[in-house]
Amino acid sequence: MSHQVTIKPSGHVFLAQPGETVLQAALREGFPLPYGCRNGACGTCKGKIIQGTVDFGSYNAATLTEIEKQAGMALFCCAVPLSELVIECREIGAIKDIKVKTLPCRVHKMERVALDVMVIYLKLPTNERLQFLPGQYIDILMKDGKRRSFSLANAPHDDELLQLHVRNYRGGTFAEHVFTRMKERDILRFEGPLGTFFLREDSDKPIIFVASGTGFAPVKSILEHVFHVRNMRGNTRSSERRMVLYWGNRTKADLYMPDVADRWQQEHDNFTFIPVLSEALPADNWNGRTGLVHQAVLQDFNDLSGYQVYACGAPAMVEAAHKDFTALRRLPDDDFFSDAFTASPSEPKS
């Protein structure tokens, strides 16, 4: 049996089909709600049930606590309506007109930029282009039916090749394939674009980007977009915002593509790059910042009430950044945007 769902405060109404989650139904009906992992791990889709009941589904218990459930909160990527619902959540207008596609692509080039990071360049069919917002991701569709999510590292204007940053790790089926068997001209299929991690261009607040590991990929897409807009249109409110990137890695060897961020800093006076190493080796001869990347932000800023923060990478980093920035530095919750590379039913996101 289908159930009607009403979104507050917009008043938008849609029908959820039997077995559909609130998020699936909303996206199908053209009402984009905030989301990230789609498997109950990141918490981006969390909202309030004002009226009605749901099956909360399978999710990470740390992401939705029993206290939150009792207060009416739910993860809309997992919650299946059991009655008519009235829910309260934000809607994301910017992705409303972007069509999600399933497309084939060819591996055009592979570039190993660190011991455990491979950059893959994918070429679409001649008559196809992927419209996306900088910061969004795609799902690689594997032959066994599983999916593997990767952020797009190229900006939308530079879409001849789609760029993915793939991290190798123990137990990663797709990652192992990339590092051992994938070769140029291989054919893949993907679905996208997906996600609501993208630059909110209706603000002039300065931005702090916090990335760990391959969390650099969507930040790279966003920054290259901003710099392109600045070069093409001149100074605009969005492109002149002060921006700083804190990029955390374990050792200097893990800091792949540092020349890219260094070049941005040299070419754009409104951008600052601060690499942070948590386990610098003696051989690194590292004189830069050390420790946890989000703690470097805490050391540099006493008040974040006038900023926007975009955090991407390891779930522990994203969670700690959100908790400490909002509780200790007065960052408004609505100005924290994140994409946690959370574990999915198949493999974690890169």
For 4-30, write each residue's pLDDT tens digit. 999 999 999 999 999 999 999 998 887
Please write down the HEC assignment for all residues of 38-65.
CCCCCCCCEEEEEECCEECCCCCCCCCC
| Position 195 pLDDT exceeds 60 | yes
The whole-number pLDDT of residue 90 equals 84
pLDDT in tens, 127-184: 888 999 999 999 999 988 889 999 999 999 999 999 999 999 877 889 899 999 999 9
* pLDDT band of 44, cuts 50, 70, 90: confident
Q: Across the chain, how many H-helices and E-strands are there? A: 7, 19
Around 241, how many Cα atoms within 13 Å sit in the side-chain half-sphere?
A: 26
| Position 80 pLDDT exceeds 70 | yes
pLDDT in tens, 261-305: 999 999 999 999 999 999 999 999 999 999 999 999 999 999 999
Q: What is the CATH number of domain 207-340?
A: 3.40.50.80
Q: What is the mean pLDDT of residues 98-124?
A: 96
| Position 239 pLDDT exceeds 70 | no
The whole-number pLDDT of residue 31 equals 84
- For 289: left if phi > 0, alpha if psi spans -120 to 50, otherwise beta; the answer is beta
Residue 103: name the closest of 78, 71, 80, 126 by CA: 126
- Tokens representing residue 95 in the block: 């992705």
- SS3 state at 70: helix
**Fold adopted by 101-194:** Elongation Factor Tu (Ef-tu); domain 3 (2.40.30)
| Position 346 pLDDT exceeds 50 | no
Q: Which residues contact 230 (CB under 8 A, 6 or more apart)?
A: 236, 239, 240, 268
Share of the chain above pLDDT 90, in %: 77
Looking at every residue in the chain, the average pLDDT score rounds to 92
Tell me which of 171 and 307 has the higher pLDDT.
Answer: 307
| Position 344 pLDDT exceeds 90 | no
Domain borders along the chain are 3-91, 101-194, 207-340
Q: What is the CATH number of domain 3-91?
A: 3.10.20.30
Q: What is the pTM of this model?
A: 0.84
Tell me which of 207 and 174 has the higher pLDDT.
Answer: 207
> What's the rounded Cα separation, in Å, for the pair 64 and 42?
10
User: Tokens 């692509």 belong to which residue?
Assistant: 105
* pLDDT band of 257, cuts 50, 70, 90: very high
* pLDDT band of 60, cuts 50, 70, 90: confident
The whole-number pLDDT of residue 288 equals 96
